[in-house]
Amino acid sequence: MEHYNKPYKSFNSIFLINRNSRVRYYFWVIMLFLLVLLFLPWTQNIKSTGYITTLKQENRPQKVNSPIPGRISKWLVKEGDFVKKGDTIVILTEIKEDYLDPNLIARTNSQLDAKKGSIFFYHGKISTTEKQIANLNNAKKLKIEQLKNKATQLKNKLVAEKAELVANENEVKLLKNQYERQSKLYEDGLISQTQLQQRNIQFQNATAKKINTENKIAQTQQDLINILIEQNSVDQEYAEKINKAESEKFQNLSQIATSQGEMAKLENQVSNYTIRNGMYIVTASQDGQIVQANKSGIGEVLKEGETISIIVPTRADYSVEMFMRPMDLPLVNVGQAVRFTFDGFPAIVFSGWPKGSYGTFAGKVVSIENTIGEKGLYRVLVAEDNGQIKWPTQLKIGAGAQGILLLNDVPIWYELWRNINGFPADFYKIEKKETK
């Protein structure tokens, strides 16, 4: 364009008219830079929001509930106070009429002692009844032996009388024969009538003696039968007495069993009353800060299980609960790396280059819930990665957190191509190191 400068002076006034253009040079430099940029590594990630919580349930805010219904008698703390485990928070007084008696435990113990005394007396009655049964058995045995001895005597007497009857029968037979021969001799006139009468008298006397012996035998047999009947009567009589004594024994045993049940019930009541007395003092279950006192003042009535206040533990292993979409859940694994930014802490975040970010903190996935929440999201619990920068000590439970779940490292061109086509991120697996 130099030949235009001579005839026209206005050309010389144009800015940079005499310089060669470098636009092409810059264009190719920029294109080369963009081409190189496309091949730079990019960390695929899933972004999600969450809240700070704790790994252990006992480190989360705990409600202080009233174990019994009662009336507030005295507050020993106020909201914002820090307490130690076992420190008294509030003192309650009784409102139920069943427990208003100040000597309730002592009176119940007196009833328990009385019941124990009745059991002791029942044992004494059982011991006496057992002795009575033993005495009845001995008396029955002696009575039976006495009757058996008497029966043996009657049997021996019966044997002697039967032997005497045999002798009488032989004598009657002999005298009858003699009388018949004398009678024939008297008919022949060989003997006198006096001699015949003497033989007849002897025969009649022998016959009478035989009949007397038969009567003795019958009487002895009747006495023996009476002895056997009396023996059965003695068995029946003593059996009734023994059964009655045993019935009293079992009745006393039943009373003992009933008293033992009542005694166990009274012991249970004493234990319950003692434990209830300890529930009037509500103490802190762990170290922490008292917040959200739901009751104020003195004299307010609490229901059983009603919340008095909340204790926030002073020391806790913090974690973050994140909520993932169902389409992102298959890409999440236990042990997977996560980067966080916490509310209130400044950060510069490059989601594709986590190592180049500033103000982020590392974590690892520790659990994945298998049930979907009310908002259609799955809950993922992430703990602090102890091998990285420690999380801030100023964190509080419930504060917000922005999570970046780190996946595979891929080139930028691949990530652009994937997003343009709407493809999901690559499936991610944690490589586990084998230890020998």
Residue 268 — pLDDT band, cuts 50, 70, 90? very high
Tens digit of each residue's pLDDT (9 = 90 or more) over 286-338? 888 888 888 777 888 888 888 888 888 876 778 899 888 888 787 788 888 88
Given a contact cutoff of 8 angstroms between Cβ atoms, the answer to whether 397 and 54 are in contact is yes
The architecture (CATH level 2) of 62-87+284-312 comes to: Beta Barrel (2.40)
How remote is the C-alpha of 69 from its chain's centroid?
25
**Distinct helix (H) and strand (E) counts, the chain:** 4, 14
Type of residue numbered 204: Q
315: its two tokens:
């020391």
Q: Has residue 432 got a pLDDT over 70?
A: no
Q: Has residue 63 got a pLDDT over 80?
A: yes
Topology classification of domain 42-59+316-436? Elongation Factor Tu (Ef-tu); domain 3 (2.40.30)
Given a contact cutoff of 8 angstroms between Cβ atoms, the answer to whether 333 and 365 are in contact is yes
Reduced to 3 states (helix: H, G, I; strand: E, B; else coil), residue 58 is helix
Burial 134-171 (b: 16+ CB within 10 A, else e): eebeeebeebeeebeebbeebeebbeebeebbeebeeb
Report the pLDDT value the prediction gives residue 436, as an integer from 0 to 100: 46
Residue 11 — pLDDT band, cuts 50, 70, 90? low
- The CATH classification number of 104-278 equals 1.10.287
Q: Has residue 1 got a pLDDT over 50?
A: no
Given a contact cutoff of 8 angstroms between Cβ atoms, the answer to whether 432 and 336 are in contact is no
Tens digit of each residue's pLDDT (9 = 90 or more) over 170-205? 888 888 887 778 788 777 777 777 877 887 888 788
**CA angle in degrees (0–180, nearest 5) for 226-227-229:** 65
Q: Got the DSSP string for 292-322?
A: -----SSS-EE-TT-EEEEEEESS--EEEEE
Of 398, 401, 396, the residue nearest 314 (C-alpha) = 396
Q: What is the average per-residue pLDDT within 151-160?
A: 86
Type of residue numbered 389: I
Residue 4 — pLDDT band, cuts 50, 70, 90? very low
Residue 97 — pLDDT band, cuts 50, 70, 90? confident
Greater pLDDT, 17 or 136: 136
Per the prediction, the chain carries an average pLDDT of 82
Report the pLDDT value the prediction gives residue 356, as an integer from 0 to 100: 60
**CA angle in degrees (0–180, nearest 5) for 75-77-81:** 165
How far apart, in whole angstroms, are the C-alpha atoms of residue 431 and residue 401? 27
pLDDT-above-90 percentage for the chain: 3
Residue 397 — pLDDT band, cuts 50, 70, 90? confident
Report the pLDDT value the prediction gives residue 430, as an integer from 0 to 100: 47
**CA angle in degrees (0–180, nearest 5) for 54-430-411:** 110
Per-domain residue ranges for the chain? 1-38, 42-59+316-436, 62-87+284-312, 104-278
Q: What is the average per-residue pLDDT within 93-118?
A: 87
How far apart, in whole angstroms, are the C-alpha atoms of residue 174 and residue 182? 12
32-46, 84-98, 279-293, 317-331: least confident range:
32-46
Q: Has residue 425 got a pLDDT over 70?
A: no
Greater pLDDT, 395 or 12: 395
Given a contact cutoff of 8 angstroms between Cβ atoms, the answer to whether 300 and 275 are in contact is no
Instruction: Give the DSSP H/E element, type plus range, for residue 63.
Output: strand 62-65
Q: Has residue 156 got a pLDDT over 80?
A: yes
75-84, 134-143, 183-192: least confident range:
183-192
* The 88-94 sheet, strands edge to edge: 281-283, 88-94, 70-75, 301-302
269: its two tokens:
């009541």
